[in-house]
Amino acid sequence: MPELPEVETTKRGIEPWLKDQIISKIIVRQPKLRWPVSDEIHSLEGEKVVSLSRRAKYILVETAKGTAIWHLGMSGSLRLVEASEDPGGHDHIDWQLSNGKVLRYHDPRRFGALLWVAPGADSEHLTHLGPEPLSDAFDAAYLFQRSRGKSQAIKTFIMDGKVVVGVGNIYANESLFKAGIRPQTAAGKISKQRYERLVAEIKTVLAAAIEQGGTTLRDFVGGDGKPGYFAQQLFVYGRGGQPCKFCNTTLKEIRQGQRATVYCPSCQR
C-alpha cells in the first residue's frame, strides 16, 4: 500500500503539471472504486487548478468550484501521460488538462477513491485525523499525553490515524527499530524521554523517504512514472530471519493487527 512518502512523492510529481491548468474534461470509465465516484466531480470541468496539497494519504486538488480528493488505496497510482496514449484495462479515470497532458488514475484492485467536496465544506474522511507527523503539532509531549493509560502495543498505536497520520507499516517498523523500542511494548509504559527519540526517528525516517522518492512497492510508481528508492535502505521491514545490520542478531518477525512486524531482539527493548 502506498504510504505517506509515496503519496507525497506523487503529489510533488504531478503538481507542476496540474497547478494553474484548466481541467478540460473528466472521463470516468469505472466509477465503482472504494467509494463510488460522484457525478458531481464533473463540475470541476472547465475549472482552473488553484492548488494541490496532501493530508495524510489523501491528495487534495482545489478549484473554485470545489475540491477533488484522491486516495491511492492499495494499488493506485496517478501519472501524467500524453493524450495520445490509449488507456489500459485498469486505467479508470482521466483528467484532460489544458496543457495537453492527461492525469491518469490506474488501480488494479480498485481500493482507491476520487471524492468531491463543495467549497467551504469539510470532508468526513479528513475531520477525524490526527496531526501530520512532520508538523510541529506532532511532538513527544503530544504523543506521551495521548499514550497515557494505553495498553495498546506501540506499533499499532503510532499507526492509528486518529493519533498521527501517515505512519504506515513500513515506516513504523523502521522508526521503532531506530528508536530502540520493541513494537510489542505497551504505549502507556513508554517514558517521555523514549518518546522524544521515537518522534525524532519518525520524522527523520519519513523525511528521508520523501526526499528519496518513496519506497519501491510492487504496484507503486511515482507521479513521474519512476519508482522510489528508499527500500534499499530499510533496516528491518521485509528482513525477518536475516541478521540485524547493527548487531548481527537474527531479526524476528511476528504479526500485529494482521501486519508483518520485524524487530531486533537485541537492539530493541
β-strand partners of 253:
262
- The SS3 call for residue 171 is helix
Residue 109 in marked binding region = yes
- List the strands of the sheet with 58-63, edge to edge: 51-55, 58-63, 66-71, 113-117
Q: Rounded distance, CA 100 to CA 17, Å?
A: 10
**Which residue matches cell numbers 465544506?**
121
Residue 90 known to bind ligand:
yes
Q: How far apart are CA 98 and CA 46, in angstroms?
A: 9
42 is in an annotated binding site: no
Nearest to 153 by CA among 121, 183, 109: 183
State how far the Cα of 92 lies from the Cα of 170, in Å rounded to an integer. Answer: 28
List the grid coordinates of 198. 521515537
Q: Which residues are catalytic?
A: 2-3, 57, 259
Known binding-site positions: 90, 109, 150
Known binding-site positions for DNA: 90, 109, 150
